[in-house]
């Protein structure tokens, strides 16, 4: 599964090396967003959908380069 450049940046900023940790951090971040940050919210939701459909092996491959 391909990630956009923006999604890759979110993985770098919020990732802890685990898929579950990244998902949790992204959901927590979403909870702090303001109404004017709708684009970031949309991007984050799109990334979360991709992560939920990704296997652990696929996540490792994605993050190992």
User: 14, 3 in Cβ contact below 8 A?
Assistant: no
Length of the chain: 65
pTM to 2 decimals?
0.91
- Given the structure tokens 């890759």, which residue do they identify? 8
Residue range 9-62, pLDDT digits in tens: 999 999 999 999 999 999 999 999 999 999 999 999 999 999 999 999 999 998
Q: Where are the domains of the chain?
A: 5-64
Q: How many CA atoms lie within 13 A of 12 on its CB side?
A: 8
The rounded distance, in Å, linking the Cα atoms of 31 and 41 is 9
The rounded distance, in Å, linking the Cα atoms of 4 and 28 is 21
């Amino acid at each position: 599964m391909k990630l956009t450049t923006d999604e890759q940046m979110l993985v770098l900023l919020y990732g802890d090396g685990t898929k579950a940790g990244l998902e949790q951090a992204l959901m927590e971040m979403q909870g702090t967003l303001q109404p004017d940050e709708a684009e970031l919210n949309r991007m984050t939701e799109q990334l979360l959908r991709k992560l939920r459909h990704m296997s652990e092996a696929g996540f490792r491959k994605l993050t190992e380069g």
